[in-house]
Structure 1
Amino acid sequence: MEELKERIKREGEIVSQQVLKLDAILNHQVDPALTMEMGRQFAARFAADGVTKVVTVESSGIPVAFAVAHELGVPMIFARRKKTLLADPDSYVERVPSFTKGIVTDLMLPKRFIKKEDRVLLIDDIIANGDAARGLVKIIHAAEAALVGVGIVVEKCFQPGAQGLRDQGIRLESLVRIQALEEDGIVFAD
């Protein structure tokens, strides 16, 4: 997705060789037109898969997952990372480390929102080590729902997350693939 690559080049901030800050595009500020285009891109790639639910993790995955769900005409569900007073006690829970936060959190998804007959598309903003995605995959499997695939806005190819999911036989589609973060800029994989 060329427009997204250009925005990443202009507005992304290389923090280190491992970390790319995209808060002007994905994390704090969200461009509705760009986000809806991402939704159209993922919806087109998974249109023939009979998706019944789109699932993500709070919070950065929500805008893109919403755009995908809107395009596909299906509900979007997000797993919470923090228990609230209104949290459903009958939830799937999976403990996962967070690459960007440097802590371990619980992903919680109420059981009533994901059923055995669902065909689930997992959407997230960035994949690094893949811990959040693997946690959601475990939740989808625990619900006995079908995982049709994973859509990632930015795949960091130099970290093991995306390849690890592919090695499990999971279809993973990325809008942008980054090969390296270097002092003089971002190296895209394609």
Structure 2
Amino acid sequence: MDILKQRILEQASVLSTDVLRLDSIINHQVDPALTMEMGHEFANRFAGEQITKVVTIESSGIPSAFAAAYVLGVPLVFARRKKTLIADNDAYCERVPSFTKGMVTDIMVSKQYLTSEDRVLFIDDIIANGDAARGLLKIIERSGAKLVGMGVVVEKSFQAGSRTLREQGVRVESLVSISSLEGGQITFE
């Protein structure tokens, strides 16, 4: 996605050799037109997979996951990070560390929204170490649902997350892959 690469070059900030700030593109402010293009691209890449649900983790993954679910014509289910007063007590739950947030949280998905009948596409905004992704994959596995693949808006290929998932047999499709942030420069694969 050349338009996404261009926007990253114009608007992203390199904070360190490991951290890229994408707040003006996907993590704080959302461009609806760009987000819908991402949704179409994910839908095209996973066409023919008979997807019944798109899943993500709140909150930054929701816009691109929503766009993909909309294009595919299926529901979006997102793993909650906070338990609310009305949260379903019958839920799958995993404890996951967050690389960018620097903390450990629980993610949960109600059992009524993810079942063994589902064929799911997991969409995530950024993959670095893959800890949160592995947590949601455990939930998907425990539900009995079939994972058809994972779509990632920005893959940081210099970190182990996507590589580890691919080694485990997960189909990972990244819209943009960044191989380095060395010297404050964004280098695409």
TM-score by length of 2: 0.99
| 1:132 CA displacement | 1.0
2:117 corresponds to: 117
Task: Give unmatched runs, 5+ long, in structure 2.
Answer: none
Deviation at 1:182, TM superposition (A): 2.4
Alignment of 1:21-170 (within 5 A): 21-170=21-170
Aligned amino acid, residue 78 of structure 1: F
For 1:102 and 1:82, locate their aligned partners in 2 and report how far apart those are by CA, in whole Å.
Answer: 16
Cα distance in structure 1, aligned partners of 2:134 and 2:184: 32
Alignment correspondent of 2:19 = 19
Query: How big is the shift at 1:176?
Result: 0.1
Asked whether the equivalents of residues 15 and 184 of structure 2 are also in contact (C-alpha less than 8 Å), the reply is no
2:72 partner letter? L
Q: Rate the CA distance shift 1:184–1:81 in 2: closer, same or farther, 3 A.
A: closer
SS in 1 for 2:108: strand
Supply the AA of the counterpart residue of 2:19.
V
Partner SS for 1:30: coil
Conservation of the 8 A alpha-carbon contact between 2:54 and 2:65: yes
**Aligned partners of 1:25 and 1:166: how far apart in 2?**
26
Q: Deviations over 1:12-71 (max 9, x none)?
A: 000000000000000110000000000000000001111000000000000000000000
RMSD between superposed Cα atoms in Å = 0.6
Contact residue 14 and residue 184 of structure 2 kept, 8 A: no
Letter of the 1:34 partner, please give it: L
Choose 31-40 or 175-184, whichever is displaced more: 175-184
The number of residues matched between the two structures is 189
Give the partner amino acid of 2:83: K
Helix, strand or coil for the counterpart of 1:92?
strand
Q: CA deviation at 1:183?
A: 2.5
Partners in 1 of 2:155 and 2:139 — Cα distance? 22
TM-score for the superposition, normalised by structure 1? 0.98
| C-alpha separation in 1, matches of 2:88 and 2:179 | 40
The Cα shift of 1:86 comes to 1.2
Q: Which runs of 5+ in 1 are unaligned?
A: none
Q: Match for 2:4: what amino acid? A: L
Percent identical: 65
Query: What is the CA–CA distance in structure 1 between the aligned matches of 2:27 and 2:34, rounded to whole Å?
Result: 13
Query: Which consecutive segments of 4 or more residues in structure 1 shift more than 6 A?
Result: none
Task: State the shift of 1:184 in Å.
Answer: 4.5
**SS of match in other structure, 1:142:** helix
One-letter amino acid of the counterpart of residue 94, structure 1: E
CA contact (8 A) 2:128 2:160 kept: yes
